[in-house]
């Protein structure tokens, strides 16, 4: 069975973790000085590298070359060549135990962990327990984990990962080193996808690449999975293929309708919307994208300083278009429009007539 792209292109070194530069620097410095901790908590949106980083720490702790070569230890990276590194990569290491707390959330599972953690590592220097979606543990399980988390055996390291930090008890978060994994900007995801496409010899047009990155909503894993799915459908990926499979429209269509709205061109705006509906596009998602687009236009008009932040979401040409559009539209109109679009979006999610709320917005704001 072929290896999934997100697994095949999982980062092998800390320096390969895109978009998490602060976390990488802290962990590399700790690895160089031999000061990796005994308990970590990685939290943030899905697909941002939490589990990958946990496995990298497991490799750093058990890498045979790091153990035997003092000069290599100062690099702060695993060798990826020794037996321990290879076994962790292939998920066959007896010294790295991954637990899915979503399906192993009770006190019995944590008691088993407490019993197992006392045994010495089979091959490497450390036993590493990675508990994914840790927020799913029951209250009793959290309480059972406390003492082990605070004082694990000298040969053990616990790494917790979650997408919902706010659900964790303070008694847990106070006992670990906490690392926030940020949602990734579209530009970073496009960079990774381009590298994957080149490595896999996948022909893909830039607008299609851009839409996949937008659909992923900050998740490298989602983007790579979607790229793999579409590449199995056709050898050359174009924007139409991505739109057909995802139900999303490219930013070009959002820009075109936004330009018609800016001109107060009601007739052509309705005509454009009707064409989108007849083509079978998801108008609810399209409205959401339109809200985000006008939000950027308004934010950049009111505060030019946000341009740097928007560079992660838009390429240079798109930023220039947003600036030009903002210069042609007054602020009260944009505020009223965005409020109307938000109301329409709420109605469209539960309405059998998805196009109607958006049509009403156009009529109310452009008449």
CATH number at residue 191: 1.10.8.60
- Min mean pLDDT across 22-31, 262-271, 344-353 is at 344-353
The CATH number given to whatever domain includes residue 336 is 1.20.272.10
- Min mean pLDDT across 111-125, 151-165, 206-220, 313-327 is at 313-327
Within its chain, how far is the Cα of 192 from the centroid? 12
Is the predicted pLDDT of residue 309 greater than 70, yes or no?
Answer: yes
Stronger pLDDT, 367 or 68, i.e. the higher one: 68
d(CA 85, CA 91): 10
| % helix, strand, coil for the chain, step of 5 | 60, 10, 30
Structure tokens at 16: 């390969």
Model confidence band, residue 214 (pLDDT cutoffs 50, 70, 90) = confident
106 and 169 together in one domain: yes
Mean pLDDT of 52-65: 95
What is the span of the domain harbouring residue 198?
186-246
Q: Which of 132, 158, 180 is the last residue of a domain?
A: 180
d(CA 313, CA 309): 8
Structural domain count, the chain: 3
d(CA 286, CA 278): 14
d(CA 336, CA 338): 6
155 and 202 together in one domain: no
* Cβ-proximal residues to 230 (8 Å cutoff; 6+ apart), any chain: 208, 212, 237, 241, 242, 245
Mean pLDDT of 218-222: 89
Stronger pLDDT, 20 or 214, i.e. the higher one: 20
Specify which residues 96 forms β-bridges with: 128
Q: Determine the pLDDT at residue 183.
A: 86
* Cβ-proximal residues to 332 (8 Å cutoff; 6+ apart), any chain: none
Mean pLDDT, all residues of the chain? 90
Q: Determine the pLDDT at residue 1.
A: 55
d(CA 120, CA 240): 55
Percent of the chain with pLDDT over 90: 59
Q: Determine the pLDDT at residue 304.
A: 85
126 and 161 together in one domain: yes
- Min mean pLDDT across 147-156, 237-246, 267-276 is at 237-246
């Amino acid at each position: 069975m072929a290896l999934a792209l997100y697994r095949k292109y999982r980062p092998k070194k800390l320096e390969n973790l895109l978009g998490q530069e602060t976390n990488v620097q802290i962990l590399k410095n700790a690895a160089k000085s031999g000061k990796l901790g005994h308990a970590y908590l990685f939290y943030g949106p899905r697909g941002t590298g939490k589990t990958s980083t946990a496995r990298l720490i497991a490799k750093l702790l058990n890498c045979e070359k790091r153990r035997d070569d003092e000069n290599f230890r100062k690099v702060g990276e695993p060798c990826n060549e020794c037996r321990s590194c290879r076994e962790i990569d292939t998920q066959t290491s007896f010294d790295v135990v991954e637990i899915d707390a979503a399906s192993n959330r009770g006190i019995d599972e944590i008691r088993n962990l407490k019993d197992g953690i006392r045994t010495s590592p089979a091959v490497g220097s450390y036993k590493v327990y990675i508990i994914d979606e840790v927020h799913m543990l029951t209250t009793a399980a959290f309480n059972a984990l406390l003492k082990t988390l605070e004082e694990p055996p000298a040969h053990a390291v616990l790494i917790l990962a979650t997408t919902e930090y706010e659900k964790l008890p303070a008694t847990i978060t106070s006992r670990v080193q906490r690392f926030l994994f940020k949602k990734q900007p579209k530009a970073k995801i496009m960079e990774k996808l381009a590298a994957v496409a080149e490595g896999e010899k996948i022909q893909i047009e830039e607008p299609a690449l851009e839409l996949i990155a937008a659909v992923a909503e900050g998740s490298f894993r989602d983007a790579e999975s979607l790229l793999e799915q579409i590449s199995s459908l056709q050898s050359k990926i174009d924007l139409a293929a991505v739109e057909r499979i995802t139900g999303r429209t490219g930013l070009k269509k959002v820009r075109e309708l936004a330009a018609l709205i800016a001109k107060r061109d009601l007739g052509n705006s309705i005509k454009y919307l009707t064409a989108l509906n007849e083509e079978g596009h998801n108008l609810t998602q399209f409205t959401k994208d339109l809200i985000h687009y006008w939000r950027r236009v308004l934010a950049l008009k009111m505060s030019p300083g946000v341009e740097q932040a928007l560079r992660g979401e838009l390429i240079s040409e798109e930023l220039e278009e947003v600036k030009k559009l903002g210069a042609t539209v007054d602020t009260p109109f944009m505020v009223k429009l965005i409020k109307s679009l938000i109301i329409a979006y709420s109605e469209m999610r539960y309405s059998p007539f998805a196009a109607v709320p958006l049509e009403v917005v156009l009529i109310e704001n452009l008449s």
